Amino acid sequence: MIYKMVLAAADTTSAAEEVAEVTQDTVEEVSRMTQILQDNIPQIISFAFQVVLALVFFFIGRCLIKWVRKVVRRSFERSKADTGVATFVDSLLKYGLYFLLIFSIAARFGVDTASVAALVASSGVTLGLALQGSLSNFAGGVLILLLKPFEVGDYIVEDTNMKEGTVKEIQIFYTKLSTIDNQTIVIPNGMLTNNSLTNATAKDERRLDLKISVSYEADLREAKSLIEKIVTEDPCVMQDKEILVFVDDLAESAVVIGARAWVRNEEFWPTKWRILEEIKLKLDENGIAIPYPQVTVHMQEKK
């Protein structure tokens, strides 16, 4: 019994010594940290001040960038410059000014600007090789603005992938199109400059080409007369331009009558839909059939 009590007392003494040792180590560690903080308080205060100053400088610079962009946009509006040029310059100005702002903040923190410039130059070569597509798109955007194959507001068709729509924005790397059903198509500028495209609204006037099939049994002269009257009397057809109605083709199951007239670009589709509907109704009223493809099979009886 006495032996057990002695062992318990020894264990208690050992635990107390361990607690005291841990406490002493903790106190020493806290003392060291306190001493380090006290020794570096000026540097910490200086660094914190620089961080706050950099943040203030960044927010002021961002406000200045917004102001500069706003002034440039207003100057473009007053000069009635092309919307695509204004959008492109605004995007380029935004990225360029933010780069200068970050570069200035880095220099304010004591970063060697010569080293940064060398790093940017060497990184530029690497990025140029890695981002050849993006650089091609940037060059394509510049070519679009210089050569003007289309402008904001034009309706274009990219012939390779058959993407089409109204040009809404010409940005640094991409051009945005808006389709008839209000979808947005984003096409890289490099694709638009390296492939052929059709600008449907480059001119104020556009020729309306119609093809109407009538039966071989129908009165051809009457059919042409009806179509010519409808086209001529349409209010959107330009009467000072040539209007033609002619036999375009003798197809397998129909006579194809062609009609050509000129309309203003913005009235092209409504005029086409209206004239086609009116032609169908008039042909039906006069008993002129519009045939559909059909095959006649003759069976020969065996003798």
> What's the length of the chain?
303
Percent pLDDT > 90 in the chain is: 20
Give me the pLDDT at residue 77, please.
72
pTM over 0.85: no
Give me the pLDDT at residue 262, please.
94
For residues 119 and 106, is the Cβ–Cβ distance under 8 A?
no
Q: Which tens digit of pLDDT belongs to each residue from 184-236?
A: 999 888 888 888 888 888 888 899 999 999 998 889 999 999 999 999 999 99
Task: Give the sign of the dihedral formed by CA 196, CA 199, CA 202, CA 208.
Answer: positive
Tokens matching residue 127: 């990025």
Residue 237 has pLDDT above 70, yes or no: yes
Higher pLDDT, 187 or 31: 187
Alpha helix positions (H), the chain: 2-79, 83-108, 113-130, 132-147, 189-194, 220-233, 268-285
Give me the pLDDT at residue 125, please.
52
Mean per-residue pLDDT, 237-244: 90
Give me the pLDDT at residue 247, please.
93
Residue 11 has pLDDT above 70, yes or no: no
